[in-house]
Amino acid sequence: MQFGLSESQEILKDTARKFFAGECPIAEVRRQMETDTAHDAALWSKMAEQGYTGIIFPEDFGGVGLSAVELALLMEEAGRALLPGPLFSTVALAGAVLSAAGSVEQKKKYLRPICHGQARSTLALLEASASWDPADARIDTTGNKLTGEKLFVPDAAVADSIIVVSRDGAWIADSKAFGIKISKMSGMDLTRKIYSVQFKSTPAEKLANTAGLSRGLDIAAAALSAELVGGMQRCLDLTVEYAKTRKQFGKPIGTYQAVQHQCADMYLETESARSAAYYAAWALQENIPDASVAVSIAKMYASDAGRTVGNRGIQIHGGMGFTWENDLHLYYRRAKASETALGDATFHRERIARAVIDAGAKSAKSAQ
Amino acid sequence: MDLNLTAEESQFQGELRSWLAVNVPKHWDRMREEALEERFDFLRKWQRKLFDAGWAGISWPKEYGGRGASLMQQVIFWQEMARAGAPPMANVLGLGLIGPTLIAFGTETQKKRFLEKILNAEEIWCQGFSEPNAGSDLASLQTEARLDGDHYVVNGQKVWTSYGWIADWCEVVVRTDPAAPKHKGLTVLLVDMKSPGVDVRPLRQMTGETEFNEVFFRDVGVPVANVVGKVNSGWDVAIGTLMHERGSFGAGLQIIYKRNMDRLIELSHTVHRNGRPTADDPIIRQKLAQCYAEIEIMRLNQMRAFSRISATGVPGPEGSIQKIFWSELNQRFQQVAQELLGPFGQLTAEDDHAIDRGIWSYGYLRTRGNTIEAGTSEIQRNIIGHFVLGLPRSY
């Protein structure tokens, strides 16, 4: 039993950190976020060369064959860099669902080009009801034709295919298919664009293994939790650095306990979110029975901590923290979008409650 | 990263689980009705039973009565104790703080003399650190020890000494060089609590109990052989003890937290509010789930910390987050328990209507001490700020 990263995991994480720092420094993040899609084709090719677009997919389909833990480490570093564009939506979200729910043929058709960096994908789940429970989806799938509207779909404008979650499973459609209309939604996060996608009798193919959908979504939620951790770590680092250099009353403001204690809380929350995210990824890798609870614990904690770490970081930066020029608000915006994506803390606490409180009621009844 | 058990760990877990299944006493939590002495005696016998079966001091060296197993097996031990709902062991400070300190800093003679008797609960330990004028600012302590031939003569007063009333021995930090800067003139001594001149007085807590004590030392003779580490280097030894207190001590607490959580979930099905079980109340559900998740995160943080200690050998200042986490979580948990139990939460053991013989009202009051004992939350945040994050010292 060893809850530390292995040597190869350390190397992967370190390499990713250097890669993102070199290829997508914050000035580049700011450039891309001002573009329509926040997607850069040249950067995408380089990520594919690194194997990032196929990191968790089987080698049979051109992937690297690593596990949810390595995906979490990659996403943590992407989060630290505030990487714009569709890496999360293509790999951690749509890719993970395809991998878990697709047939061999479907994976050959859709997953292989993703691994090779030739295609991007995304997943459409939320509707006007804003429910993350697929059972609440109302999109019509009669006769393998999709009709309805999905909201908050990340990176839809640069996706080649879109996975659509319905009440009866998951479907995949070509993003250029008949009847699809993609419109931009204007969200707080400038680095990950969101869209509404309307379908009208759009031909789609059902993913063969419906049961795999929940596992795919769990992998995505664990990866998103890890991405939040990376963002928190960056906020903490920026804030500690600022507290060491900014002087008031003749001393660095980090000398004052009112500031120090806020930094300590940022550290505590970041480390705790990291423990939970790593464990969730490991639980998914090993397919342990309560992996879904571990995912909910990770996403619940990271959703709240991403926000509170940002709150403290901005406060300690004082007036500077409130400026457009300072980078903190970019992380803060991402954290808010990620907080609700794939279920906020309230949603995941209810999921935990169903597993641990209601299970108790059942066993109490069966004992009577 | 591999949280799967190795073959050896798995065998260890299997043996321990089978042993606990047969040997964990039933209904031991009813012990709360008994007097402090009787409860302690029960836990002491339980520890002796664990020791005799080879389950005390999992990661301590074999030659001193331990099992000689890995730190991760120690972690498995706590998890299994929690899973089995087993009582904790009696010699809390000996096992958690003084033993590890002696293993790190003690002489061979000290290790042979003291360690096994810590494990079998034959000798109970307490810790003489805080003084009336030296709490958070521990290094300003004034209890002095003067060298007189082959022994030191100790004079002074310690306070908040848990287990002082039953302890056989005490790890005492004293000032041996009053002229040196405050951190430089300290020495750690092992003091026999039965020595002439040691006077233990009860200190009543806000819970009504007298868990801890004031300890007065008046011309108490302590042999030079009982110095731990080097003379005037006691601060390093004391910090070593405190690192264990902050970092690893909390690991044993998951036994209690898990048990409390399970019980509160059980109660949520039977305690009603507005005509329905509290388990159906959406706000209570949210709060219970939050506590459940945080208890799990406490466990995960500790596992990560132990993996790091396995690699580096010693607990570091980052252990302060464990201390903050377990203490503040316990306060939040007891607050939720009070909310769930409503007016019944306030009832004490003496009341026939009390749920679980008043443990919830006791627990609520007791948790206020959690963020004060073993280094206040404020001190822990200073430690993280300065020693982990590298911010300038605030004092």
Chain A residues whose beta carbon lies within 8 Å of the beta carbon of residue B75? 1
Q: Does residue B238 form part of some domain?
A: no
Does residue A131 sit in helix, strand or coil? Answer: coil
Question: Which of B249, B210, B244 has its CA nearest to residue B313?
Answer: B244
Flag if B1 and A4 touch (Cβ within 8 Å): yes
Question: Which of B132, B152, B154, B150 has its CA nearest to residue B141?
Answer: B132
Flag if A361 and B269 touch (Cβ within 8 Å): yes
**Is the pLDDT score of B34 beyond 90?**
no
**Pair of tokens at residue A284:** 């998914």
Question: Which of B374, B81, B110, B99 has its CA nearest to residue B224?
Answer: B110
- B158 has which bridge partners? B215
Cα distance between residue A314 and residue A293, in whole Å: 32
Judging by beta carbons within 10 Å of its beta carbon (0-12, 13-18, 19+), is residue B272 exposed, middle or buried? middle
Flag if B392 and A244 touch (Cβ within 8 Å): yes
Whole-number pLDDT of residue B211 = 83
Question: Looking at residues A172-195, what average pLDDT do you find?
Answer: 98
The per-residue pLDDT for range B50-69, each reduced to its tens digit, is 999 999 999 999 999 999 99
Whole-number pLDDT of residue B118 = 98
> Helix (H) and strand (E) counts for chain A?
15, 9
**Pair of tokens at residue B65:** 């009565």
Question: Looking at residues A66-91, what average pLDDT do you find?
Answer: 98
Of the partner residues B1, B285, B391, the one whose CB lies closest to the CB of residue A2: B1
> Please, are residues B100 and B144 in contact by the beta-carbon 8 Å criterion?
no
Residue B36 to residues B126, B210, B211, B322, B362, Cα–Cα distance (Å) = 16, 8, 8, 28, 14
The per-residue pLDDT for range A3-38, each reduced to its tens digit, is 999 999 999 999 999 999 999 999 999 999 999 999
Judging by beta carbons within 10 Å of its beta carbon (0-12, 13-18, 19+), is residue A210 exposed, middle or buried? middle
Minimal C-alpha gap between A347 and chain B (Å):
9
Q: Strands B186-192, B151-162: parallel, antiparallel or unpaired by DSSP?
A: unpaired
Question: Which of B165, B145, B164 has its CA nearest to residue B218?
Answer: B145
Question: Looking at residues A309-315, what average pLDDT do you find?
Answer: 98
> Please, are residues A98 and A163 in contact by the beta-carbon 8 Å criterion?
yes
Interface test with A, best of B300, B304, B388 (most A CBs within 10 A): B300
> Please, are residues B182 and B173 in contact by the beta-carbon 8 Å criterion?
no
As for the ipTM of the complex, it is 0.96
Cα distance between residue B375 and residue B138, in whole Å: 10
Helix (H) or strand (E) holding B190: strand B186-192
Question: Looking at residues B295-319, what average pLDDT do you find?
Answer: 86
Q: What is the DSSP letter of B301?
A: H
**What DSSP assignment string belongs to A192-214?**
S-EEEEEEEEEE-EE-S-TTHHH
Question: Looking at residues B340-361, what average pLDDT do you find?
Answer: 95
Assess whether B359 and B315 both reside in one domain: yes
Assess whether B256 and B203 both reside in one domain: no
The answer for residues whose C-beta is within 8 angstroms of residue B37's C-beta and 6 or more apart is: B166
Assess whether B81 and B196 both reside in one domain: no
Judging by beta carbons within 10 Å of its beta carbon (0-12, 13-18, 19+), is residue B250 exposed, middle or buried? buried
- B221 has which bridge partners? B153
**Is the pLDDT score of B82 beyond 80?**
yes
Interface test with B, best of A9, A76, A268, A350 (most B CBs within 10 A): A268
- Give the amino acid at B246: R
Residue B196, domain CATH: 2.40.110.10
* Overall number of domains in chain B: 3
Helix (H) or strand (E) holding A252: strand A251-252
Binned at pLDDT 50, 70 and 90, residue B152 comes out as: very high
The per-residue pLDDT for range A34-78, each reduced to its tens digit, is 999 999 999 999 999 999 999 999 999 999 999 999 999 999 999
Residue A275 to residues A59, B244, B297, Cα–Cα distance (Å) = 29, 20, 7
Flag if B4 and A1 touch (Cβ within 8 Å): yes
Binned at pLDDT 50, 70 and 90, residue A367 comes out as: very low
Interface test with A, best of B3, B59, B327 (most A CBs within 10 A): B3
Question: Which of A320, A307, A296, A311 has its CA nearest to residue A245?
Answer: A320
Q: Is A276 in CB contact (< 8 Å) with chain B?
A: yes
Chain B residues whose beta carbon lies within 8 Å of the beta carbon of residue A302? none
Q: Per CATH, is A212-361 categorized as 3.40.50.1100?
A: no
Flag if B318 and A353 touch (Cβ within 8 Å): no
Q: Is A301 in CB contact (< 8 Å) with chain B?
A: yes
Q: What is the DSSP letter of B134?
A: B
- B38 has which bridge partners? none
Closest A-chain CA to B9: A1
Closest B-chain CA to A9: B1
Structural domain harbouring B71: 7-90
Q: Does residue B110 form part of some domain?
A: no
Of the partner residues A268, A352, A356, the one whose CB lies closest to the CB of residue B324: A268
Active site residue B245: yes
Round to the nearest angstrom and report the end-to-end CA distance of chain B: 39
Assess whether B292 and B383 both reside in one domain: yes
Other CB atoms closer than 10 Å to residue B362's CB: what's the count?
19
Minimal C-alpha gap between A29 and chain B (Å):
27
Closest A-chain CA to B377: A261
Assess whether B218 and B252 both reside in one domain: no
pLDDT exceeding 70 applies to what percent of chain B? 98
Chain B residues whose beta carbon lies within 8 Å of the beta carbon of residue A347? none
**Is the pLDDT score of B254 beyond 90?**
no
Q: Does residue B1 form part of some domain?
A: no
Assess whether B77 and B190 both reside in one domain: no
Assess whether B79 and B131 both reside in one domain: no
Q: Strands B276-277, B151-162: parallel, antiparallel or unpaired by DSSP?
A: unpaired
pLDDT exceeding 90 applies to what percent of chain B? 81
Assess whether B26 and B65 both reside in one domain: yes
Of the partner residues A6, A263, A272, the one whose CB lies closest to the CB of residue B325: A272
Residue B213 to residues B33, B125, B318, B327, Cα–Cα distance (Å) = 22, 13, 30, 21
Whole-number pLDDT of residue A368 = 38
User: Which stretch of A95-109, A159-173, B310-324 has the lowest confidence by average pLDDT?
Assistant: B310-324
Flag if B289 and A352 touch (Cβ within 8 Å): yes
CA angle at B171 for the pair B170 and B176, rounded to the nearest 5°: 120
Cα distance between residue B143 and residue B136, in whole Å: 16
CA angle at A328 for the pair A295 and A42, rounded to the nearest 5°: 75
The per-residue pLDDT for range A267-279, each reduced to its tens digit, is 999 999 999 999 9
Quick one: chain A helix, strand, coil %, rounded to 5?
Answer: 60, 15, 25
> Please, are residues B244 and B77 in contact by the beta-carbon 8 Å criterion?
no
Q: Does residue B65 form part of some domain?
A: yes
Please compute Rg for chain B using Cα positions: 22
**What DSSP assignment string belongs to A133-165?**
-GGG---B-GGGEEEEEEEEEETGGG-SEEEEE
Flag if A254 and B297 touch (Cβ within 8 Å): no
Assess whether B142 and B188 both reside in one domain: yes
The per-residue pLDDT for range A201-256, each reduced to its tens digit, is 999 999 999 999 999 999 999 999 999 999 999 999 999 999 999 999 999 999 99
Residue B313, domain CATH: 1.20.140.10
Cα distance between residue B395 and residue B385, in whole Å: 12
Flag if B265 and A240 touch (Cβ within 8 Å): no
Assess whether B259 and B333 both reside in one domain: yes
Of the partner residues B5, B308, B393, the one whose CB lies closest to the CB of residue A1: B5
Whole-number pLDDT of residue A362 = 58
Question: Which of A307, A316, A303 has its CA nearest to residue A351?
Answer: A303
Residue B201 to residues A174, B166, B215, B360, Cα–Cα distance (Å) = 80, 11, 6, 28
Judging by beta carbons within 10 Å of its beta carbon (0-12, 13-18, 19+), is residue B66 exposed, middle or buried? buried
Flag if A254 and B391 touch (Cβ within 8 Å): yes
Q: Strands B198-203, B212-223: parallel, antiparallel or unpaired by DSSP?
A: antiparallel
Question: Looking at residues B143-172, what average pLDDT do you find?
Answer: 97
Whole-number pLDDT of residue B250 = 74
Whole-number pLDDT of residue B242 = 85
**Is the pLDDT score of A364 beyond 80?**
no
Q: Does residue B289 form part of some domain?
A: yes
Cα distance between residue A285 and residue B255, in whole Å: 27
Q: Does residue B243 form part of some domain?
A: no
Assess whether B279 and B381 both reside in one domain: yes
Assess whether B168 and B223 both reside in one domain: yes
Active-site residue, selected from the candidate residues B80, B116, B245, B318: B245
Does residue B177 sit in helix, strand or coil? Answer: coil
Whole-number pLDDT of residue B32 = 65
Question: Looking at residues B270-281, what average pLDDT do you find?
Answer: 95
**Pair of tokens at residue A6:** 């292995």
Binned at pLDDT 50, 70 and 90, residue A366 comes out as: very low
Residue B5 to residues A247, A280, B82, B366, Cα–Cα distance (Å) = 50, 17, 17, 36
CB pairs under 8 A between A and B: 165
Question: Looking at residues B254-279, what average pLDDT do you find?
Answer: 93
Flag if B394 and A297 touch (Cβ within 8 Å): no
- Give the amino acid at B188: V
Whole-number pLDDT of residue B256 = 85
Cα distance between residue A33 and residue B136, in whole Å: 49
Binned at pLDDT 50, 70 and 90, residue B226 comes out as: very high
Residue A31 to residues A25, A39, A178, A197, B204, Cα–Cα distance (Å) = 10, 10, 33, 26, 65
Q: Is A356 in CB contact (< 8 Å) with chain B?
A: yes
- B227 has which bridge partners? B189
**Is the pLDDT score of B203 beyond 70?**
yes
Binned at pLDDT 50, 70 and 90, residue A363 comes out as: low
- Give the amino acid at B58: I
Residue finishing a domain among B185, B208, B232: B232
Closest A-chain CA to B383: A264
**Is the pLDDT score of B33 beyond 70?**
no
Minimal C-alpha gap between B13 and chain A (Å):
12
Whole-number pLDDT of residue B311 = 82
